[in-house]
Amino acid sequence: MKRPDRAAYIASMNEPRSFTARQLLFKELFVGTLIYAVVLGFFDDYTSIVEARSFSYVFLAAIVLEVLTCGVFAVKNAIVGSLRHRASRASTVVMALGVWFVMFASKFVFIWAIDVVFGDDVNVNGFFGIFLIALVVTVMHRLADWVFIRLGRP
């Protein structure tokens, strides 16, 4: 069996390409899960906000939280998408309140889901704890996206 030409392979890696929606979703879920795992791990090690039995539980909690985060952003995008095209002040206020409510209420859903799925094996202490975790994860994810985009520029 003939080996592929190394030079052709390297040249194909340098060709500009676009990504499919499935590829981008995978990247978001993969990178988001890793970011959650790192943030939860640090919070577990250095604060009393997260208490986990082991890193395996931290990683499983990261998967649960990333899936929930994707769901929350899908709901937020649906609200924005349905109200964005209306030009009235009332629709703008409803959109802002809807997005705020989804983002606020989601933290309670996150705490509830972690409690239901993991019981005493993973504890996130309070609304402000999960809010701080979500804030740090969001900043880290934005930073990762910024680096990803910058690396794609010539």
Q: Are strands 50-52 and 122-124 parallel, antiparallel or unpaired?
A: antiparallel
**Gap between the Cα atoms of 20 and 130, Å rounded:** 32
pLDDT digits (tens, 9 = 90+) for 54-111: 999 999 999 999 999 999 999 999 999 888 887 788 888 999 999 999 999 999 999 9
| Enclosing H/E stretch for 1 | none
pTM, 2 dp: 0.83
Domain annotation covers residue 5: no
**Gap between the Cα atoms of 65 and 37, Å rounded:** 10
**Gap between the Cα atoms of 45 and 59, Å rounded:** 14
The gap from C-alpha 134 to its chain's centroid, in whole angstroms, comes to: 9
Rg (CA), the chain: 20
Number of domains observed in the structure of the chain: 1
Domain annotation covers residue 28: yes
pLDDT digits (tens, 9 = 90+) for 33-60: 999 999 999 999 999 999 999 999 999 9
Domain annotation covers residue 41: yes
Domain annotation covers residue 26: yes
Reduced to 3 states (helix: H, G, I; strand: E, B; else coil), residue 52 is strand
